[in-house]
Structure 1
Amino acid sequence: MDYSLPQTIDNHLGEKLIFKRILHEPDGDVLIGENFVQPGSGPPMHTHWLQDEGFTVLKGRIGYQLAGKPKQYANVGESIVFKRGVPHRFWNDGSEVLHCEAWLKPANTIIFFLSSIFAAQNKSGKAQPEFFDASYLLTRYASEYEMNEIPYFVRNVVMPIAYRIGRLFNKYEHFKDAPEPVK
């Protein structure tokens, strides 16, 4: 799927992402961007099964955690990397807006996925994305992404059933141009 870059997305929770450019490399495209996160905000524990992700703090202080590990912190000028397949979360641990330079490799479907998650959060007005949209995204793209804080039964039974019900009731017309998941 081709995207016109730069592209900016935000959610009502205080997160703004700017997808700036794609660098084409022999072993996969790298998405370069920036994120801005309000104090106390940040995504819950999640996993990128196929991608590495990195941040360099430009302003503020980032808190981060790998599943089962203690919380850690990085300040201005410091970088962190989350390896593919490792559940992680991060948040703004300071009192000012956290601003980071970010990269993700390979880019795969991340622009579509995050844009759709943010839109579904904005639609619901809550941290939890609108349920049918979340069911679509987390079922269709389960080979790429996982939201680890969603209970196993909900993630692997309830959401796939809701995904099929949503298809029956034509709730996914707005996803008609969705990219194929990467396996």
Structure 2
Amino acid sequence: MAINYPHTIQNCLGEKLTFLSVEKHPNGDKVLVENQVTPQSGPPMHTHFMQDEELTVVSGTLAYQVLGQQPSYAYAGESVLFKRGIPHRFWNAGTDNLICTGWIQPANSIVYYLSAIYAAQNKSGKAQPEAFDAAYLLTRYAHEYDMAEIPPFVKKVIIPITYWLGLLLGKYKHFADAPVPLK
């Protein structure tokens, strides 16, 4: 899938993410981003197993939390680094829009994955992405990404059943250009 930069995605929850460009690096491509998040919005607890992510607050108040720890806060000019494999979340803890710049490295499939997640949220009209799309993405990219707040029973039973039902019903044609998952 060819992506032209800048590439902007927006979900129905008040999150707007612009992938500004991709820089070539010996340790893997680095995608540069700008986030705009409305008050009290932000992604749920998640993990990217193969990428580091850094956000620098341009304006607003960034609340962030690593799984099992208390929330922390960052303000204009401060940066937060989320290391690969560490479950984390962030949100806008202020009353004005939060604007951050940052990067994700290596880029791998993050642009495709987040674009598809936002589209699935917009399809459902809520935080929980449309069920078949979510099952496809969480199954195909299970070695790259995880959603920590999904109960184990749902991950081990409901999502695989939904995924296979989606295959049988032909629900995944719009994912024909999905990048090959990393192992």
* TM-score, with structure 2 as normaliser: 0.99
Secondary structure of 2:163's counterpart equals helix
User: Does 1:124 find its partner at 2:143?
Assistant: no
Amino acid in structure 2 at the alignment position of 1:57: V
Deviating beyond 3 angstroms after TM superposition, the runs of 4 or more aligned structure 1 residues are none
Which residue of structure 1 lines up, in the alignment, with residue 160 of structure 2?
160
Q: How far apart are 1:66 and its partner, in Å?
A: 0.2
Report matched runs for 1:8-47 at 5 Å.
8-47=8-47
Secondary structure of 2:179's counterpart equals coil
Which residue of structure 1 lines up, in the alignment, with residue 96 of structure 2?
96
Percent identical among aligned pairs is 58
Q: Which runs of 5+ in 1 are unaligned?
A: none
Q: How far apart are 1:171 and its partner, in Å?
A: 0.2
Amino acid in structure 1 at the alignment position of 2:91: W
Amino acid in structure 2 at the alignment position of 1:44: P
Which residue of structure 2 lines up, in the alignment, with residue 58 of structure 1?
58
Distance (Å, rounded) in 1 between the aligned partners of 2:142 and 2:180: 12
Which residue of structure 2 lines up, in the alignment, with residue 115 of structure 1?
115
Distance (Å, rounded) in 2 between the aligned partners of 1:101 and 1:156: 35
Distance (Å, rounded) in 2 between the aligned partners of 1:156 and 1:64: 28
Distance (Å, rounded) in 2 between the aligned partners of 1:13 and 1:82: 22
* TM-score, with structure 1 as normaliser: 0.99
Distance (Å, rounded) in 2 between the aligned partners of 1:134 and 1:101: 27
Q: How far apart are 1:166 and its partner, in Å?
A: 0.4
Which residue of structure 2 lines up, in the alignment, with residue 74 of structure 1?
74
Q: How far apart are 1:2 and its partner, in Å?
A: 2.9
How many matched pairs? 183
